[in-house]
Amino acid sequence: MKKFQVVDGLVAPLDRSNVDTDAIIPKQFLKSIQRAGFGPNLFDAWRYLDQGEPGQDPASRRPNPDFVLNQPRYAGASILLARENFGCGSSREHAPWALEDFGFRAVLAPSFADIFHNNCFKNGMLPITLPEAVIDSLFSRVDATSGYRLQVDLAAQEVRTPDGEVHGFAIDPFRKYCMLEGLDDIGLTLRHADDIRAFEAARQAAQPWLFHGARP
């Protein structure tokens, strides 16, 4: 996993609530058995006028000029500004994979759906929850200022605006540690393999039926 320390980036606004993971990456692209390459199909149904299918050459697609990420002023954005309940719906981790592959490193919203929120941390993508009023004011500033950038500092747990405003955000210490160091949590968990084995043995002794397979 990529380390996340400070990201100073261009902000792209996605002004709608309840953006679901079907919209972030539509189902036809979930057929891939790879973990990479989803960026060209991020928000596919909104981003293109033609219908997206796996294996297309992105250069042959017809972009929807009205979709915000197609506007030249947001090209190269690495911070996504979003509305409430971002990432609801399907558990597909392809959603953060697609955002990351496109170039986003952080998503700012008033609230996130639980599974999406979890999945982000496994992929070096930082979901930051900020109060509705702060998000509102960021939307107006992004709208009013071409090239609007923000600085996200994970160690300090701060989002800093160009005019010096600082917005603190909360994050679990364990997740923060893993993100800062780019750590693989399987490796960390396996350090506790003895605890897991002991727990498992006791559980199997007490409730053996939880460990059976099918019987004819």
By CB under 8 A, name the binding residues for other proteins. 16-18, 20, 22-23, 26-28, 30-35, 45, 51-52, 54-55, 83-85, 88-93, 96, 111-115, 118-119, 122-123, 172-174, 184-186, 189-190, 192-193, 195-196, 199-200, 203, 207-216
Which one, 60 or 207, has the nearer CB to other proteins? 207
Minimal distance, residue 4 CB to other proteins, in Å: 15
Which one, 149 or 171, has the nearer CB to other proteins? 171
Contact, 111 vs 85, CB < 8 A? yes
Which one, 10 or 107, has the nearer CB to other proteins? 107
Which one, 54 or 76, has the nearer CB to other proteins? 54
DSSP characters for 46-94?
Answer: HHBSSPP-TT--GGGS-B-TTSGGGSGGGTT--EEE--TTBTBS---TH
Q: Are strands 6-13 and 166-168 parallel, antiparallel or unpaired?
A: unpaired
Minimal distance, residue 201 CB to other proteins, in Å: 11
- Alpha carbons 151 and 206: distance in angstroms, whole number: 52
Minimal distance, residue 207 CB to other proteins, in Å: 6
- Alpha carbons 59 and 184: distance in angstroms, whole number: 35
